[in-house]
Amino acid sequence: MLRQRIAARPRRALVLLLPRVVLSTTAAPSSPAAATTDFCASADGPLPFTLQTKERVSSDSCWMRFGLPAGRRYLGEDRTLPTCVKVRFPNGTNEKGEPKVLEKSYSPVSHPAADGYFDLLVKAYEPRPGGGVGAYICSLEVGATMDATLKSERKMHGDARVLGRWAHVGLVAGGTGIAPLVQLARLVLEDPDGTTRVSLLSINRHEEDILMRDALDALAAAHPERFRVSYSLTRPPDGWTGHVGRGSVRMAEQALPPAAAAEGSTMIFVCGTDGFVSSWGGPVGRAPRQPDGSRGAKVQGPLLGFLADAGYLESEVFKY
């Protein structure tokens, strides 16, 4: 009934009224039988996910809820870890315009313990040779099926754990880079035993470009002692009282946890376009290509940019 009432409301209220998820510290099921039905574990090939709800949240972005395959309750096996899916676009092309199956990774904006579904925030970039996965996803109609593979857990400086790992977490998002950071914020803030404080900085061009603003403001209202959110615009309207610009050392100092307060106490996550991430933390590199021709894994690379200039340590920054 709650989900039916939510779906009937406008988009902005829908984001705010998502039910609070209470985590269990025991993520694994209690029996082998449960393991085959409770979780949507990694598979050799992609799995089908059915579009249940779709809302346009900006001129080129959609919020979409996908139901899990029958018999499965959760997207990831461990509901205390961030999740990520690789979406398969069967009718894409390569850079030469030749037919090719394309894949692109997306982090849900829903909590990893969401029961029976996950939510994506997708930007429909203009289709082009070698691209177009976002436009494909946004073109889906309710009831359509999308094939995607659950990606393996992401290790951040050698460990995939998030809960209880740091005293302070800072999140720096450029545009749709907000998606994985919202999931992180929800995961940390809705930990019943958590004390970690979270600061999120969302940077956009225009005020109407701020994605999930109502959801972020609601999280701040629900966790006033542990969560604060700041906004920056590169083209602010008259009367704008938030930050202005794409980033600076001063902005980092004002909007994020202090650098090197104590070894291991702070972690800053940065997500956005390659250029955005590079300006804040330095470029992300790539390992050599795989034997099958696919791109190598991401490599963090040295810490540069605003965060380095603000005094953060390389061990205190993770570039998505």
User: What number of residues does the chain have?
Assistant: 320
Write the pLDDT tens digit of every residue in 68-80.
999 899 999 999 9
Asked if residue 108 has pLDDT above 90, the reply is yes
E-assigned strand segments in 177-265 = 197-204, 227-233, 243-244
Write the pLDDT tens digit of every residue in 235-286.
999 999 999 999 999 999 999 999 876 667 999 999 999 999 999 999 998 8
Residues ≥6 apart with Cβ < 8 Å to 154: 82, 84, 160
As given in the structure block, the two tokens for residue 201 are 């900085």
Confidence at residue 5, expressed as pLDDT on a 0 to 100 scale: 34
What pTM value is reported for the model? 0.84
Confidence at residue 96, expressed as pLDDT on a 0 to 100 scale: 85
Confidence at residue 63, expressed as pLDDT on a 0 to 100 scale: 96
Asked if residue 16 has pLDDT above 70, the reply is no
Rounded mean pLDDT of 9-32?
Answer: 38
Quote the CA–CA distance of 138 and 122 in Å, as a whole number.
7
Confidence at residue 262, expressed as pLDDT on a 0 to 100 scale: 63
Write the pLDDT tens digit of every residue in 114-127.
999 999 999 998 77
Quote the CA–CA distance of 92 and 97 in Å, as a whole number.
9
Confidence at residue 285, expressed as pLDDT on a 0 to 100 scale: 87
Assigned CATH class of 37-150:
mainly beta
State the CATH architecture for 168-319.
Answer: 3-Layer(aba) Sandwich (3.40)
Confidence at residue 277, expressed as pLDDT on a 0 to 100 scale: 97
Confidence at residue 288, expressed as pLDDT on a 0 to 100 scale: 86
Q: At what angle do helices 213-222 and 178-189 cross, to 10 degrees?
A: 20
Confidence at residue 173, expressed as pLDDT on a 0 to 100 scale: 98
> Model confidence at 45, in pLDDT bands (50, 70, 90)?
low
**84 neighbors 118 (Cβ within 8 angstroms):** no
Confidence at residue 101, expressed as pLDDT on a 0 to 100 scale: 92
Q: For residues 306 and 58, which has the higher predicted lDDT (pLDDT)?
A: 306
Write the pLDDT tens digit of every residue in 187-214.
999 999 999 999 999 999 999 999 999 9
> Model confidence at 223, in pLDDT bands (50, 70, 90)?
very high
Confidence at residue 261, expressed as pLDDT on a 0 to 100 scale: 62
Confidence at residue 295, expressed as pLDDT on a 0 to 100 scale: 74
Quote the CA–CA distance of 222 and 226 in Å, as a whole number.
9
> Model confidence at 59, in pLDDT bands (50, 70, 90)?
confident
- Residue 284, Cβ density class (10 Å: 0-12 exposed, 13-18 middle, ≥19 buried): middle
Confidence at residue 10, expressed as pLDDT on a 0 to 100 scale: 37
Rounded mean pLDDT of 24-35?
Answer: 35
Rounded mean pLDDT of 52-63?
Answer: 93
Write the pLDDT tens digit of every residue in 121-148.
999 987 777 789 999 999 999 999 999 9
The domain locations on the chain are: 37-150, 168-319
Asked if residue 21 has pLDDT above 60, the reply is no
Q: Which of 99, 91, 43, 95 is nearest to 69 (CA)?
A: 43
Quote the CA–CA distance of 230 and 171 in Å, as a whole number.
10
- Give the least confident one: 16-20, 162-166, 218-222, 242-246: 16-20
